[in-house]
Amino acid sequence: MKKRVLITGGAGFIGVNVAHRFLRRGWRVSVLDDLSRRGTDRNIRWLMGEGAVEFTRADLRNAAFAERWVRSRLDGLEAVVHLAAQVAVTTSVADPRTDFEKNALASLNILEAVRRSGKKPFTFYASTNKVYGGMEHVRTALSRGRWSYVGLPHGVSEREPIDFHSPYGCSKGSADQYFRDYARIYGLPTVVFRQSCIYGPHQQGNEDQGWLAHFMKMAQAGKGVSVYGDGRQVRDALFVEDLVDAIEAAYIRRAKAAGRIYNVGGGPKSTISLRELLAWIEKRSGRPLPVSWGPWRPGDQKVYVSDIRLAGRELGWRPKTGLGAGLEALWSWLERG
């Protein structure tokens, strides 16, 4: 019997890349997505053209439906990859109830559906670095035209206290802790990744989420971009295929990884500031990119870089794609339309 994976949010940017990898491995792939985000309909059409994917258009806010969806797909069930989410901080501020339902409630529903199924598949949750909040106690300084940490050469580790600074942080952080606790209390082999900036093909970025793709798309369309703050803020960036490698590594080492939380991103060797991305785009496109500057937004971090050493030690994983190669791959994919 073929192994089966259930992927929620499987038509999204990360989900479609995860689903494609499992298809290539010969797994049966069942995808659930409500197709509410722009570009997901295109992604699912592409994915279904790549292999025999079973697709369900729905969300997980109804507990009874979530349980039926899981129970009807137990044959060969080896893995559940929970990616479905509301992903924008600004949207969470405007509509915190929907944010809670799509992130915290839906996550509890999928956990309960798996627990009540009687099976114990590898169960993965995509969390976020936003659970660490503003990290006001960590000193930052300008160095070589970009913000950097003072005293954190490897970046932010899993020992950093969680501190939710937005409805989005609250909803994702609640789910993050539920996944960890279901390993402790019920013995489910859950794994949580607190992900940094993920980028790559099939990403339909916008101003609130997916900024690397958003800036590139605007430049390719001959439009300008808005930058809030001084443009020297820094993020670590991880190419999506490297993230999928990490999820696979967690599945392979699930006995060791069960109940664990890992910070997963590009790490200190793969960081970029907004100004550096603007310069890269202008060089790649051969023309200036108009920029409108605005004040810092509440909650914006001057720098966030993941300490990825724990994932390296316990999962045997490290990023393979250099930042330059990854940016070029995303630019080329967007350019092809």
242, 203, 198, 27: which is closest to 122 by C-alpha? 27
Rounded to the nearest 5 degrees, what angle is found at the Cα of 221, between the Cα atoms of 220 and 222? Answer: 90
Q: The tokens of 223 are what?
A: 């439009």
Q: What string of DSSP letters covers 289-336? A: --EEEEPPPTT--SEE-B--HHHHHHH-----S-HHHHHHHHHHHHHT
Handedness of CA 168, 171, 177, 182 (dihedral sign): negative
d(CA 131, CA 242) in angstroms, rounded, equals 22
d(CA 101, CA 106) in angstroms, rounded, equals 6
Catalytic one of 125, 132, 149, 168: 168
- Residue 143: how many CB atoms within 10 A of its CB? 12
CB 97 within 8 A of CB 53: no
Tell me, what DSSP letter sits at residue 176?
H
178 in active site:
no
Q: The tokens of 95 are what?
A: 């509509």
Active site residues: 168
